[in-house]
């Protein structure tokens, strides 16, 4: 290792130290992922030529508290998780699951037929099947000879 690299590695990096301190404070104070962060709910998206499938992890949320909407190529998932009411004398030891309202919009690889969208909720996972709109499907054009 060249001398200048050794010297640089020993220089105190104030910003790195502050980031580490912030991370430790967040862990200590229990501020983890909250329900309004951009990555909630966590999603997986698959697509084929004819459809897309989106799964969203939404444990503890009743299906009646979920709302889906599709406009062209965008799927929006909205919902709310009620806060846990504590009894007198109780307090949280750790809170990693947020409460409140959330919304997540994702852009899909094609336009969707909103009339054929199907959604199911099983064991805390929301499954959304999004068929591709017929007018958005590639059309094969035949070439005629003279």
**Residue 91's pLDDT is what?**
86
The count of C-alpha atoms lying within 13 angstroms of the C-alpha of 5, restricted to the half-sphere facing its C-beta, is 2
User: Where do we find the tokens 């409140």?
Assistant: 100
| Cα 113 to Cα 70: distance, rounded to the nearest angstrom | 9
| Cα 28 to Cα 22: distance, rounded to the nearest angstrom | 10
**Residue 85's pLDDT is what?**
84
Give the mean model confidence (pLDDT) for residues 88-93. Answer: 86
131 pairs with which residues across the strands?
Answer: 51
Band of pLDDT at residue 78, cut at 50, 70 and 90: very high
User: Where do we find the tokens 């640089």?
Assistant: 8
| Closest alpha carbon to 109 in 128, 129, 126, 132 | 132
Second CATH level (architecture) for the domain 33-84+98-136 = Sandwich (2.60)
Q: What is the mean pLDDT of the chain?
A: 81
Band of pLDDT at residue 22, cut at 50, 70 and 90: confident
User: Where do we find the tokens 């962060």?
Assistant: 37
Q: Give percent of the chain with pLDDT exceeding 70.
A: 81
| Cα 101 to Cα 81: distance, rounded to the nearest angstrom | 7
pLDDT tens track for 110-119: 999 989 999 9
């Amino acid at each position: 290792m060249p001398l200048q690299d050794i010297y640089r590695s020993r220089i105190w990096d104030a910003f790195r130290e502050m980031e580490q301190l912030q991370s430790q404070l967040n862990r200590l104070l229990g501020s983890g992922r909250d329900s309004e962060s951009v990555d909630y709910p966590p999603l997986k998206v698959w697509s084929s030529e004819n459809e897309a499938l989106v799964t969203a992890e939404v444990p503890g949320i009743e299906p009646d508290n979920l709302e889906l909407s599709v406009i062209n190529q965008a799927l929006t998932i909205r919902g709310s998780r009620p806060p846990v009411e504590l009894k007198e004398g109780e307090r949280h030891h750790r809170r990693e699951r947020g409460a409140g309202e959330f919304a997540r919009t994702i852009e899909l690889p094609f336009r969707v037929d909103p009339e054929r969208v199907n959604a199911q909720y099983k064991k805390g996972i929301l499954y959304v099947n999004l068929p591709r709109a017929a007018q958005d499907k590639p059309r094969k054009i035949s070439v005629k000879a003279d």
